[in-house]
């Protein structure tokens, strides 16, 4: 069927919004900025819905050529778009959740003096993210990939007058560069061996190749390099360090970019490249191990954080680890499923956290909150739902996807009980730290000292309006919360009976086969494992309840008992410090003493300066030849001619 | 028939006189005359060779040299008059302002 979907509209609309707000926003009223900032991503969402409605009548994968870009010899990369089940899911998540967060931002950022700039950046981010998702070749995807990095940098450092925000932006950018380096090398390998970056062309060539069992080969190398890129963008060990710091950005940014969409780009990219990973078991193993370790590692850090957004940040890292674990055991659709539900509930958690922060006037320390459920009931309700969802309590969204991942980790041919066990432990920790967050924030007595906290808060968060008691956020912020809460509640139901997996099966192919094998392993095991994961979720809830509600003196005691370990966890295992010692300091020292003082100063600068000095000294001497005395000039000419004549005579004689 | 070498010796002698005068003399008019002397020394060798080899080009060249010398004399003398008016000297050692 040759229908034209005009897919190009979807990324272009937010770009237009970004351009209008970016160029004219400063002079326009807030109302105009809001209109532009909402209408364009809203229109993109609407168009994505239209695409979704017409989806069933499409010839998949649908490809759309937009413009000529790079053609060199046999290599070509065009501005061309690609739509299949996988990109459709991503498309709806990004435009849908993105649009909700745009609405929320109207309320959250209303008081900010750079209101227009915020919306310009946010729309710019949407443009790049949609480019990333819809690209039909790796190069265009890479443009989107870098572009979201840029938007992320701009938005983390949105309050750039604050030093910590500016350096957090830089950190995110630089750490991502390391990952992108791997990604790029992977792309070069693809070009070298397949002569193309086009998805269809590359995968058509990869398809007939057999799996590289035993020894590692080309596909393994490409897979691992792509995973390095994904580690950077999706904040996996060892490159996760930028994400917690990225919380310096405004909360809607944390929700949109650093929870719901951009950080899942790595998962998307790995899933998109499943053809390569399927044939490289070693690379899959690397993905699974990195994902599993990250999930556990970040979860343990999460339990000791006191900053509400930091808890959520580590939780995001941990959940992304889950997604990679799913991809690593070959259950790509489970990973994408979790990506989707995670976008709902983690987006909601961040927005609700933003609402909490808004309510208490910019305070982010949970020790200074408490008892907020009577002040901000709607926020409490929605955040409660999100917490149930992420903890994996049925029937909320997180349960279905997380359970699918754990089941696949156990039963898939690439899986093992080790992944499953670590996954379950992580699920327990997740449940614990999320309920801890909920209890510390919403239960007990209010511990904030408003007056002081607000003076501080105004300076840092730009909430100019005066705060009395904690107060509920305006409707413009609550409505997105409620919609996301509904999605977090029912969003997982699409996974019942493997419907989600079957939907993605044309992309990932192997889904059916794996499921058939899984079916043989008996339903009993599956139900048993499901029971275990629900049990640990409830255990996490109970532990949090005991520690933070019924016996609030216990956490301190436990912390004292586990002194060394607790301090390590509290300080995030000193990873930042270790990186600073291991990489940053040698780099800075090396750059200072060798590259700057040594090579730049001593070699390059000195060469240039000495050459100039030498020229000056020589000419200082030689200029005396030009005495103004005619006869001395004549003498020089005569002497010169004599030499020339003598030379010619000598030549003649010889 | 006077042999070619005689002309060339004379030509060389004239040229050497010109060079010597150019280097030794301080009076700008004399230097100017030395230049003419060198030119004519060269002219003589041109004509001598032209006659010897029966090639007209050498003789034509002499005309060119004479035309250029005449033009040069016109410009040169004008400059000399201008210099004399401002500096009131013809001694080249005292006309040495153009230097670093």
Q: Is residue B72 part of a domain?
A: yes
Give the pTM. 0.80
What residues of B are in contact with residue A624 (Cβ under 8 Å)?
100
The parent domain of residue B71 ranges over: 4-94
Q: Is residue B99 part of a domain?
A: no
Q: What is the pLDDT of residue A371?
A: 84
Half-sphere exposure of B4 (CA within 13 A, CB side): 10
Q: Predicted confidence band at A452 (pLDDT cuts at 50, 70, 90)?
A: very low
For A345-401, how does the pLDDT look when each residue is reduced to its tens digit (9 = 90+)? Answer: 999 999 999 999 888 888 888 888 888 888 899 999 999 999 999 998 888 998 989
Mutation target for A interface from B23, B26, B94: give the one with most A CBs within 10 A.
Answer: B23
Q: Is residue B84 part of a domain?
A: yes
Instruction: Summarize the confidence of residues A420-445 as an average pLDDT.
Output: 91
Q: What is the pLDDT of residue A519?
A: 55
Q: Among partner residues B23, B93, B100, which is closest to A635 by beta-carbon distance?
A: B23
For A201-251, how does the pLDDT look when each residue is reduced to its tens digit (9 = 90+)? Answer: 999 998 888 877 666 788 999 999 999 999 999 999 889 999 999 998 999
Give the C-alpha separation, A544 to A308, whole Å. Answer: 16
Query: Which 3 state secondary structure label does DSSP give A238?
Result: coil
Say which residues have a Cβ less than 8 Å from residue A654's Cβ, sequence separation at least 6. Answer: none
* Complex ipTM: 0.84
* pLDDT > 70 in chain A, percent: 94
Say which residues have a Cβ less than 8 Å from residue B67's Cβ, sequence separation at least 6. Answer: none
Q: Among partner residues A628, A634, A638, which is closest to B99 by beta-carbon distance?
A: A628
| DSSP assignment of A393-449 | -TTSHHHHHHHHHHHHHHHSTT--HHHHHHHHHHHHHHHHHHHHHHHHHHSS-----
Split into its structural domains, chain B has a count of 1
Q: Is residue B100 part of a domain?
A: no
Q: Is residue B32 part of a domain?
A: yes
Instruction: Summarize the confidence of residues A33-38 as an average pLDDT.
Output: 92
Q: Is residue B63 part of a domain?
A: yes
What residues of B are in contact with residue A629 (Cβ under 8 Å)?
92-93, 96, 99
Instruction: Summarize the confidence of residues A161-173 as an average pLDDT.
Output: 92
Query: Which 3 state secondary structure label does DSSP give A3?
Result: coil
Q: Is residue B45 part of a domain?
A: yes
Contact (CB<8Å) A628/B19: no
Say which residues have a Cβ less than 8 Å from residue A102's Cβ, sequence separation at least 6. Answer: A37, A38, A41, A42, A119, A122
User: Six-digit token pair at A426?
Assistant: 């992580």
Q: Does B14 touch chain A (CB under 8 A)?
A: no
Q: Among partner residues A624, A629, A635, which is closest to B96 by beta-carbon distance?
A: A629
Instruction: Summarize the confidence of residues B37-61 as an average pLDDT.
Output: 93
Contact (CB<8Å) A628/B97: yes
Q: What is the pLDDT of residue A457?
A: 42
A135 DSSP β-pair partners: A81
Q: What is the CATH number of the domain that holds B68?
A: 1.10.287.3510
Q: Is residue B75 part of a domain?
A: yes
């Amino acid at each position: 069927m040759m229908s034209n979907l005009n897919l190009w509209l979807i990324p272009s609309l937010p770009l237009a919004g970004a351009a209008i707000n970016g160029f004219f926003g400063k002079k326009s009223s807030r109302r105009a900025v809001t209109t532009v900032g909402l209408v364009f991503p809203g229109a993109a969402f609407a168009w994505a819905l239209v695409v979704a409605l017409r989806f069933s009548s499409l010839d998949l994968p649908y490809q759309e050529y937009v413009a000529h870009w790079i053609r060199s010899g046999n290599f070509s990369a065009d501005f061309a778009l690609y739509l299949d089940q996988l990109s459709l899911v991503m498309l709806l998540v990004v435009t849908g959740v993105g649009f909700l967060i745009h609405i929320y931002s109207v309320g959250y950022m209303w008081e900010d003096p750079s209101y227009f700039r915020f919306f310009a950046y946010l729309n710019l981010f949407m443009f790049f993210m949609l480019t990333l998702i819809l690209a039909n070749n790796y190069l265009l995807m890479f443009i989107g990939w870098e572009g979201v990095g840029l938007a992320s940098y701009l938005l983390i450092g949105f309050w750039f007058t604050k030093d910590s925000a500016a350096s957090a932006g830089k950190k995110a950018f630089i750490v991502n560069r390391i990952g992108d380096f791997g990604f790029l090398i992977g792309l070069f390998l693809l070009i070298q061996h397949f002569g193309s970056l086009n998805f269809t062309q590359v995968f058509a060539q990869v398809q007939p190749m057999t799996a590289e069992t035993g020894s590692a080969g080309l596909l393994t190398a490409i897979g691992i390099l792509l995973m390095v890129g994904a580690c950077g963008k999706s904040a996996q060990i060892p490159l996760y360090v930028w994400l917690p710091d990225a919380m310096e950005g405004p909360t809607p940014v944390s929700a949109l970019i650093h929870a719901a969409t951009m950080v899942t780009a790595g998962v998307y990219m790995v899933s998109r490249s499943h053809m390569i990973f399927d044939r490289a078991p070693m690379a899959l193993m690397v993905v699974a191990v990195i994902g599993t370790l990250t999930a556990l590692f970040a979860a343990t850090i999460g339990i000791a954080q006191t900053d509400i957004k930091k808890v959520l940040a580590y939780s995001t890292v941990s959940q992304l680890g889950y997604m990679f674990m799913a991809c690593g055991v070959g259950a790509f659709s489970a990973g994408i499923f979790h990506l989707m539900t995670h976008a709902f509930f983690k987006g909601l958690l961040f927005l609700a956290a933003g609402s909490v922060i808004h309510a208490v006037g910019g305070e982010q320390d949970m020790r200074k909150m408490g008892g907020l459920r009577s002040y901000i009931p709607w926020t409490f309700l929605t955040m409660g739902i999100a917490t149930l969802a992420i903890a994996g309590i049925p029937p909320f969204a997180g349960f279905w996807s997380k359970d699918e991942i754990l089941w696949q980790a156990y039963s898939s041919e690439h899986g093992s009980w080790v992944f499953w066990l670590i996954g379950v432990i992580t699920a327990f920790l997740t449940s614990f730290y999320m309920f801890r967050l909920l209890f510390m924030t919403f239960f007990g007595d209010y511990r904030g000292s408003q007056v002081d906290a607000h003076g501080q808060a105004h300076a840092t968060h730009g909430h100019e309006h005066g705060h009395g008691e904690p107060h509920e956020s305006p409707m413009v912020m609550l409505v997105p919360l409620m919609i996301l809460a509904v999605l977090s509640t029912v969003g997982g139901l699409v996974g019942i009976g493997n419907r989600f997996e079957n939907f993605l099966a044309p992309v990932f192919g192997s889904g059916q086969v794996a499921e058939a094998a899984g079916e043989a392993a008996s339903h009993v095991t599956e139900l048993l494992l499901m029971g275990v994961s629900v049990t640990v979720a409830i255990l996490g809830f109970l532990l949090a309840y005991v520690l933070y509600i019924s016996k609030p003196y216990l956490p301190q005691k436990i912390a004292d008992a586990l002194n060394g370990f607790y301090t390590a966890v509290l300080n995030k295992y000193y990873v930042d410090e270790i990186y600073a010692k291991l990489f940053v300091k040698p780099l800075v020292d090396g750059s200072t003493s060798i590259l700057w003082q040594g090579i730049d100063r001593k070699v390059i600068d000195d060469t240039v300066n000495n050459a100039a000095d030498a020229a000056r000294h020589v000419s200082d001497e030689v200029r005396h030849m030009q005495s103004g005395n005619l006869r001395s000039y004549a003498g020089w000419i005569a002497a010169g001619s004599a030499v020339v004549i003598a030379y010619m005579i000598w030549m003649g004689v010889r | 028939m006077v042999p070619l070498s005689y002309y060339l010796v004379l030509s060389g002698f004239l040229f050497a006189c010109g060079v010597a005068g150019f280097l030794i003399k301080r009076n700008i008019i004399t230097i100017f005359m030395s230049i003419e002397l060198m030119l004519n020394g060269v002219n003589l060798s041109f004509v001598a060779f032209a006659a010897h080899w029966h090639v007209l080009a050498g003789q034509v060249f002499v005309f060119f040299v004479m035309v250029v010398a005449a033009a040069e004399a016109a410009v040169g003398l004008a400059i000399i008059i201008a210099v004399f008016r401002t500096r009131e000297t013809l001694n080249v050692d005292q006309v040495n302002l153009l230097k670093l």
